[in-house]
Structure 1
């Protein structure tokens, strides 16, 4: 029973991320681009953290590695939130969950961890799944790039930067938790604001609308949900084995797929389901070594 609450906390965090597409699309329908929404959401979270922990900035300044964490986590939010607002929800979430495959390559180069045979198998399964999800029926691998939409590319980039975030967190595991949280909230706000500004100048992002109670309440609720979800993740992940945490977090795919299908925001085609099964199998294989290690 003592392990039930950490699992429920992780499920809550996965639920927040799995359903986040709906409030982002609601805000976009009100004229607030997802990049402005992300900047606003993380700006509120950052202001709350600074108000509750006034000494956190001084705690973070000596750790230069936090700049990489801020960049990686900020770009993760920029890519995922933009992609899930504009693209097919299931495709975006599945392509984003290539994160375990990217982690193999990043850990090899960044941490010196040579890939095992199981890791190579995970890479093959994951990228085969991507080919099924992205390629239209009858297309060849040579036409792979033509099957990628802008949202697909954002999802792939978001999964890569999420993997970089995880690798960076492992390298910064001795840094106090509030300092890491400051970097992640600050990175989310800063990278989203910069991206929105550049997008506005290029004509691909619309200017934020005039303040209105309706969309402001949705934005405030979304910021609160992500704040609570972050704390739930910290609570659950610190009390469960890494493999258990990763397994529970895969429920985000279920929450996103079910909610988007029920609300007619996606079409679950057979190729998408087959490709998704391969991607999730690769993610599950990434968990096995952690669960075996925890059992010994």
Structure 2
């Protein structure tokens, strides 16, 4: 029960993270700068506890790939939930199990089974339904938030595959790569946006610093909770419990007016969630390694 509770805590933090990110945006801090700040703080904590983590990271240069994939995951998700419909963003992000089928085939040489291809088709059918707006003749992304959430989910799937590929590396070095990647990719993207005059320079009113600190601590605690829970439960169980993030995001965003439900979103979202649940329950799922962070 303790391990499941830890995973629910992780899902809860990520499910309601859209709200403090939007509050920080209102206080003058773009979600990219918020992400950079949060992960820089987490990186400092990791280096304080495991100062030797740099040695393992430098000894395995391929961990840079993990850093980039993890960083893009957080850039995509955090930016998308700040500017888009929260439920729509979370559903598109949770195409991750579908992307995993293709990435594991290309990167790990794991040929897809009939079951995995069926789940892929099920998830893709769901996303086509979600994306098909009445005013659009084609089911294509309608906004920057759509593109960002799809990119974030794809990067999340790549992060999972790389974690399995690099499982021989020190765990603290992988954690350093992921937190460092979050800070590096977010700040780098923000600086690029500043140069193109599309993202404002970082400013944060005094009242916003308390939110930034609380969110940083919450993300760090949620990561520790995931590490604890995932290490004690089968991977399939972990994946199913983590889907409660969709519930937390849906209920909180609907209650606060940050999302809208319609028949198309409910139908398409149901297919996406069903594909994710089937992926978690598939034979062999329990043998796969878990991600060390969202």
TM-score by structure 1 length? 0.94
Match among 144, 155, 160 for residue 154 of structure 2: 160
Closer/same/farther in 2, CA of residues 207 and 248 from structure 1, 3 Å limit: same
Match among 164, 173, 185 for residue 179 of structure 1: 173
Deviation at 1:213?
Answer: 2.6
Aligned-partner Cα distance in 1 for 2:262–2:51: 50
Aligned-partner Cα distance in 2 for 1:150–1:292: 33
Match among 135, 141, 144 for residue 139 of structure 2: 144
Secondary structure class of the residue paired with 2:214: helix
Aligned-partner Cα distance in 2 for 1:73–1:64: 15
Deviation at 1:132?
Answer: 1.1
Secondary structure class of the residue paired with 1:31: coil
**Contact 2:279–2:285, Cα closer than 8 Å, also in 1:** no
Deviation at 1:293?
Answer: 6.2
Deviation at 1:130?
Answer: 0.7
For residues 127-276 of structure 1, what are the structure 2 equivalents within 5 Å?
127-137=124-134, 139-140=136-137, 143-145=138-140, 147-209=141-203, 211-276=204-269
Deviation at 1:246?
Answer: 0.3
Deviation at 1:59?
Answer: 2.7
**Contact 2:253–2:259, Cα closer than 8 Å, also in 1:** yes
**Contact 1:14–1:251, Cα closer than 8 Å, also in 2:** yes
Residue 38 (structure 1) aligns with = 35
- In structure 1, runs of 5+ residues without a counterpart are none
Aligned-partner Cα distance in 2 for 1:270–1:221: 36
Deviation at 1:148?
Answer: 2.2
Residue 101 of structure 2 is aligned to residue 115 of structure 1? no
Match among 47, 51, 61 for residue 50 of structure 1: 47
Give CA-to-partner distance per residue, 1:49-108, whole Å, 9 cap, x none: 112222211132211221111000000000110000000000000000000000000001
TM-score by structure 2 length? 0.94
Aligned-partner Cα distance in 2 for 1:184–1:218: 23
Closer/same/farther in 2, CA of residues 293 and 56 from structure 1, 3 Å limit: closer
Number of aligned residues: 287
Runs (4+) of structure 1 moved beyond 6 Å?
Answer: 291-294
Residue 270 (structure 2) aligns with = 277
Aligned-partner Cα distance in 2 for 1:254–1:168: 28
**Contact 2:235–2:286, Cα closer than 8 Å, also in 1:** no
**C-alpha RMSD of matched pairs (Å):** 1.4
Closer/same/farther in 2, CA of residues 244 and 78 from structure 1, 3 Å limit: same
